[in-house]
Amino acid sequence: MEIHEVFTDLGRKNDGESRAKVLLDNDSLALRTLMRLNYDKTIKLNLSDEIEYKPAPLHEVYTTINKETKNYVKLISPSLSRDKADNLFISMLESLDPREAKILNAAKNKKLFVRGLSRKLAVKVWGNRIFS
């Protein structure tokens, strides 16, 4: 299940237990990394605050957040110039499903708001495995 589908399913649940189950049933490195990007204030990406990108048409989607997760490390590296990091991030966003690109960009800005999703729920589900 893609990340946007997980979040859609999560938004349909009405109680904490069923929301936690959705996250656990769809546990992935990509999902945990998005939680860290969004909720961990110590993570700072080497990116400009505002990133302008053109959403990919659905028939031109080449990758998923699950596949792009490995590239986030490059975005933290101070050895990569901000312009190069911005261009790398833009190319990621433009190759994703527009719904996934919106999610990733929001998490980068720590402004990912999804019905039923909270830091408290993420800590309940993953605890110290993703938050220190």
In terms of phi and psi (left: phi > 0; alpha: psi -120 to 50; beta: otherwise), the region of 20 is: alpha
* Of 93, 76, 94, nearest in space to 85 by CA: 76
Domain carrying residue 78: 3-129
Q: What is the pLDDT of residues 8-56, one digit of tens each?
A: 999 999 999 999 999 999 999 999 999 999 999 888 889 998 999 999 8
Categorize the per-residue pLDDT at 132 as very low, low, confident or very high, splitting at 50, 70 and 90.
Answer: low
Rounded to two decimals, the pTM is: 0.91
Q: Which tops the pLDDT comparison, 80 or 9?
A: 9
Q: What is the pLDDT of residues 97-124, one digit of tens each?
A: 999 999 999 999 999 999 999 999 999 9
Domains contained in the chain, number: 1
Q: How many CA atoms lie within 13 A of 124 on its CB side?
A: 13
> What is d(CA 26, CA 3) in angstroms, rounded to the nearest whole number?
9
Task: Name residue, tokens 């994703």.
Answer: 96
